[in-house]
C-alpha cells in the first residue's frame, strides 16, 4: 500500500504578496488586476472569500461583492520564485515529487517510515520545513490515494494536516458535495444533481453500469473516485510519469477593444513567444497552430494551419499565426480577444532550403539563450521587438513557463 501527500499552499499568491507588503495581512485582498479591468480573480485572501469572492470570478464582480478589498496586479515572477523554494523543500524530503501546478504538489512517501516515522508525523515535519524555508503556510492531505489526498488537503485548509486512514476513504468522502471530486465541474455537477446525486455517498451507491451508460468512460472514473480510488485522467499515471500537455495556449483580452493593426499583431507576437517558450520547456514541437479571434460583439472564429514541419520557435509560430490573422480579420473590425494555440506534437525532422535552414538554426540558438536569461532574470527579461507594443501583464492564474519540475 502506498502513502501519498498532497501539499497545497494556502492562498499562495496572496501570501507571497503579504511577504512583500505586510500591511496586507488580515485584509481582504484580491490578486489579478484592478477592479475596473476585464480580467478575473487569480486568488483571494480568506478575508475576501468571506464576501463570496473566489478565483476565476470577474474582477468587476469581485469589486461589487467586496469594494473595500485591496486589488493587486500580481507578480508572476515572485510566485515562480517561491514555487521553486517550495519544490526544493519537497525534493529534499522525498525524490518522488510531481508539481501539479505552481502552488500544489503530490509526493509519494512510501517506505520513509524509518526516516520520518508514521505518515502523520512525517506530514508535520514537512509542514514545518516548508514554513521555515518560505514563511508561507500550506495544508497537507495524506492518503493511500492521490485523489483522496487532494480532497483531504482541501478539507484541512487553512494551515492544517489531515490523514485519511487506509480503508476509511469511502467513509471520509460520503458526506462531501460531489463538486469536491476532482474533475467534477459545474456542468457535471448540474447533471448529477438532476439525477438526485448531491453527495459523494449518493454517487458511491450507484451501479457502475448505470454511470457508464450516463457518462461513458468518465462515468466509470466517477464510480472509482466515489470509492476513493485513483481513477481516470491524470490519475491513470504514476507520480513522475506525466506525459506532458496535450496542447499549449495563451490568450489575451484587451482592456478596451481595438482595431489598431500594429497593436493586434504585436499582441500576437507576444502570445506566440509565450507559447514557444512553454513548447521548448516541455521539449515539444507543434504540428498544428491555431488562431483564436473574438470581436467586440463576442463572435469568435478559430483558424488552424499545419506548417511544413513541426516547430517550437517563436518567430515561426508568429509568422504562421500572423498569416492566419491577416487572412481572416475583417479589416477595421474591433477585436476583444486574441489567442494562440499549439497542438499535435511531432518531429521537426527534414530540412528546409539552405537559407531557411540556416535562419532556423540561428533562431533556435538565439531563443535557447533567451530562455536561459528568462530562467535567471524572469520572463520579462527579454522578448521579440515585434511583441513590445503588444506587451501585457502575464495572467497570474495561467499555467506559466518557468515552473519547477517541468524540465
| In the block, residue with C-alpha cell 502570445 | 271
Report DSSP state, residue 398: S
303, three cell numbers: 483558424
296: helix, strand or coil: coil
Cis bond leading into 383, ω under 30°? Answer: no
Residues in the chain: 407
In terms of Cβ atoms closer than 10 Å to its own Cβ (0-12, 13-18, 19+), residue 278 is: buried
Closest residue by Cα to residue 40 from 53, 52, 51, 50: 53
The gap from C-alpha 194 to its chain's centroid, in whole angstroms, comes to 30
Cis bond leading into 158, ω under 30°? Answer: yes
Catalytic residue flag (residue 398): no
Q: Crossing angle, helix 354-377 and helix 261-282, to 10 degrees? A: 80
| Rg of the Cα atoms in the chain | 23
373: helix, strand or coil: helix
Cα(135)–Cα(139) distance, integer angstroms:
14
Which of 104, 229, 265, 320 is an active site residue?
104
In terms of Cβ atoms closer than 10 Å to its own Cβ (0-12, 13-18, 19+), residue 378 is: middle
Closest residue by Cα to residue 379 from 254, 281, 249, 253: 281
Q: Are 208 and 223 contacting, i.e. CB atoms less than 8 angstroms apart?
A: yes
Q: Are 151 and 182 contacting, i.e. CB atoms less than 8 angstroms apart?
A: yes
Cα(407)–Cα(403) distance, integer angstroms:
9
Catalytic residues: 104
Amino acid at each position: 500500500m502506498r502513502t501519498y501527500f498532497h501539499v497545497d499552499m494556502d492562498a499562495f499568491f496572496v501570501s507571497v504578496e503579504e511577504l512583500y507588503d505586510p500591511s496586507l495581512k488580515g485584509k481582504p485582498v484580491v490578486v489579478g488586476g484592478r477592479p475596473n479591468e476585464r480580467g478575473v480573480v487569480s486568488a483571494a485572501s480568506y478575508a475576501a472569500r468571506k464576501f463570496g469572492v473566489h478565483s476565476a470570478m470577474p474582477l468587476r464582480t469581485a469589486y461589487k461583492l467586496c469594494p473595500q478589498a485591496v486589488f493587486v496586479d500580481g507578480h508572476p515572477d515572485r510566485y515562480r520564485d517561491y514555487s521553486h523554494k517550495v519544490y526544493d523543500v519537497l525534493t529534499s524530503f522525498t525524490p518522488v515529487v510531481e508539481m501539479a501546478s505552481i502552488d500544489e504538489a503530490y509526493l509519494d512517501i512510501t517506505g520513509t517510515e524509518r526516516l520520518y516515522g508514521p505518515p502523520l508525523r512525517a506530514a508535520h515535519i514537512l509542514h514545518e520545513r516548508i514554513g521555515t524555508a518560505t514563511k508561507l503556510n500550506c495544508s497537507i492531505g495524506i492518503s493511500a490515494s492521490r485523489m483522496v489526498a487532494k480532497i483531504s488537503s482541501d478539507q484541512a485548509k487553512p494551515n492544517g494536516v489531515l490523514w485519511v486512514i487506509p480503508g476509511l476513504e469511502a467513509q471520509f468522502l460520503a458526506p462531501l458535495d460531489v463538486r469536491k471530486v476532482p474533475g467534477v465541474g459545474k456542468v457535471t455537477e448540474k447533471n448529477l444533481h438532476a439525477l438526485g446525486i448531491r453527495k459523494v455517498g449518493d454517487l458511491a451507491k450507484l451501479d457502475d453500469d448505470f454511470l457508464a451508460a450516463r457518462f461513458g468512460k468518465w462515468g466509470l472514473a466517477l464510480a472509482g473516485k466515489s470509492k476513493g480510488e485513483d481513477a481516470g485522467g491524470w490519475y491513470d499515471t504514476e507520480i513522475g510519469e506525466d506525459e506532458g500537455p496535450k496542447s499549449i495556449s495563451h490568450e489575451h483580452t484587451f482592456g478596451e477593444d481595438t482595431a489598431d493593426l500594429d497593436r493586434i499583431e504585436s499582441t500576437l507576437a507576444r502570445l506566440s513567444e509565450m507559447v514557444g517558450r512553454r513548447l521548448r520547456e516541455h521539449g515539444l514541437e507543434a504540428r498544428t497552430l491555431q488562431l483564436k479571434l473574438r470581436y467586440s460583439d463576442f463572435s469568435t472564429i478559430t483558424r488552424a494551419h499545419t506548417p511544413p514541419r513541426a516547430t517550437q520557435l517563436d518567430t515561426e509560430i508568429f509568422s504562421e499565426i500572423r498569416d492566419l490573422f491577416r487572412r481572416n480579420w475583417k479589416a477595421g473590425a474591433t477585436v476583444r480577444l486574441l489567442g494562440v494555440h499549439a497542438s499535435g506534437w511531432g518531429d521537426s525532422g527534414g530540412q528546409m532550403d539552405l537559407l531557411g535552414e540556416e535562419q532556423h538554426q540561428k533562431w533556435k540558438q538565439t531563443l535557447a539563450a533567451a530562455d536561459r536569461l528568462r530562467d535567471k532574470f524572469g520572463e520579462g527579461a527579454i522578448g521579440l521587438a515585434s511583441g513590445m507594443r503588444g506587451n501585457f501583464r502575464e495572467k497570474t492564474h495561467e499555467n506559466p513557463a518557468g515552473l519547477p519540475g517541468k524540465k
